[in-house]
Structure 1
Amino acid sequence: MTSSEVFPVAPVHGRTVLLAGGTSTAGRACARALLAAGATVIVVGSHEGRLAELATDMPGVRTERCDLTDADAVDALVDRVHTAHGRVDGLLHLVGGWRGGGGLAGQSDDDFTFLMRSLTALRVVSRAFDDDLRASTAGRLAIVSSTSVTRPLAGGANYAAVKAASEAWTRAIAQGFAKDARDGGREPSAAAVVFRVRSLAGLEDALAAAFVGLWGDPAVDINDVTIELAEA
């Protein structure tokens, strides 16, 4: 491909999208929206019961059980996904959770270790599927972050610190996507995006629509972009 050739806007229809930690209410909303748009949806989680329930409720969804903080387990997941579905075109990181309160003195090491699982999973999974997203004609990666990154409070210092680190990691992915395209003399095809919310409660459908909508914009326009989602 020459530098004069531009990747067109490519809808999510027919693409394979993986939802990491996707058994939550937000994950279910995103899975429904992706299925309705014609995507192949793979939901990955660690809780067998929730995965089984989701598979029953949404027969079109593929499910995989995996500890996303375990690099060896994720490598095995990549092999299974490639064998069954081919390379992935999208990745939404939904591994999360919240612990906090009690001011700065209440920011315990145990809580920080719990929250760090989200960042660890992001690092492991994004590295494992990086080649897929770069090779796709419309690769998209997104995370859900928090508005607390811009105004951290003492009672949520652990949480805000992990979210800030996750944003930095995602922006580094975006830089890698841009550099890969530049070095290859072509227009970017992959984009990494940060969604920020004050709280996901009540915004699950908005997140789903915004994530599916990433395939409606050229990668060059949305790579390394932060999008704030708020109730209308």
Structure 2
Amino acid sequence: MRSFGVHGSGRVVVVAGATSAAGLAAARALVSAGARVIATGRSGDRLAAVADAGAEVVVADATSLAEMTTLAAQLGQVDGVLSLVGGWRGGGGLAGQSDEDFDALLPVLQAVRATSRAFDQALQASDAGRFAIVSSTAVARPLAGGANYAAVKAASEAWARAVAHGFAKSARDAGGPLRTASVIFRAKTLDAGSLANAVVGLWDADAADLNDRVIEL
């Protein structure tokens, strides 16, 4: 069992959009490391496996600022937020990049926006707050058949980097050390186990070494 590193155990971590294999793996790894995990999803049935892994489950829409803000108020202390709303739609070259596919991919960005805004205050109040998203190597080399997908992922990365800037600016303005970090995990093909280990590892390093960092999986 891997435990949290220099910052200790007992962290409160929200896994937003936790009904995927990656969400289950991340929740299980965090619970095993000693965290209190709150996993969200829009389907109670699909959250059952995450609950069996030891996480507290909340039926809530991670793309909704109102629902995420309500959850943040209920939890109070939050040390980490992992935004995992995902999905892929594409193919057919540039002509095949339909508006319907683009709309279906927008929740990826919407969840990053909603979760980061709702939990911003709580994460900055933590002595080791961590915000993380999962992106794709398609951002660095977008293809015509995946233009919708790459564009949404690129926008999500830009938002996460803006979150990092906000964390750094707040620390500078307060005249204190940086304790909160925004991180981008980037993978070509996401391996749930690798992601889970990387998420737990976010508390092994100082925020100054993590903030605004892209971590290749």
TM over 0.5: yes
Residues 1:21 and 2:11 aligned together:
no
User: Aligned ranges for residues 1-232 of structure 1 at < 5 Å?
Assistant: 9-11=6-8, 13-55=9-51, 57-58=52-53, 60-80=54-74, 82=75, 86-200=76-190, 203-229=191-217
CA distance in structure 2 between the partners assigned to 1:47 and 1:207 by the alignment: 23
CA distance in structure 1 between the partners assigned to 2:50 and 2:85 by the alignment: 16
Letter in 2 for 1:199: T
Pairwise CA RMSD of aligned residues?
Answer: 1.2
CA distance in structure 2 between the partners assigned to 1:162 and 1:9 by the alignment: 34
CA distance in structure 1 between the partners assigned to 2:177 and 2:98 by the alignment: 46
CA displacement at 1:47 relative to structure 2: 1.2
Contact 2:136–2:188 (Cα < 8 Å) also in 1: yes
| Counterpart for residue 4 of structure 1 | none
CA distance in structure 1 between the partners assigned to 2:195 and 2:64 by the alignment: 27
Letter in 2 for 1:193: V
CA displacement at 1:71 relative to structure 2: 2.2
Contact 2:165–2:212 (Cα < 8 Å) also in 1: yes
CA distance in structure 2 between the partners assigned to 1:104 and 1:112 by the alignment: 12
Structure 1: stretches of 5+ with no match in the other structure: 1-7
Q: How many residues align?
A: 213
CA distance in structure 2 between the partners assigned to 1:18 and 1:142 by the alignment: 10
Q: Deviations over 1:181-208 (max 9, x none)?
A: 11111110000000100011xx211111
Structure 2: stretches of 5+ with no match in the other structure: none
Letter in 2 for 1:101: G
CA displacement at 1:51 relative to structure 2: 1.3
CA distance in structure 1 between the partners assigned to 2:63 and 2:35 by the alignment: 26
Contact 2:164–2:212 (Cα < 8 Å) also in 1: yes
Contact 2:24–2:49 (Cα < 8 Å) also in 1: no
TM-score by length of 2: 0.95
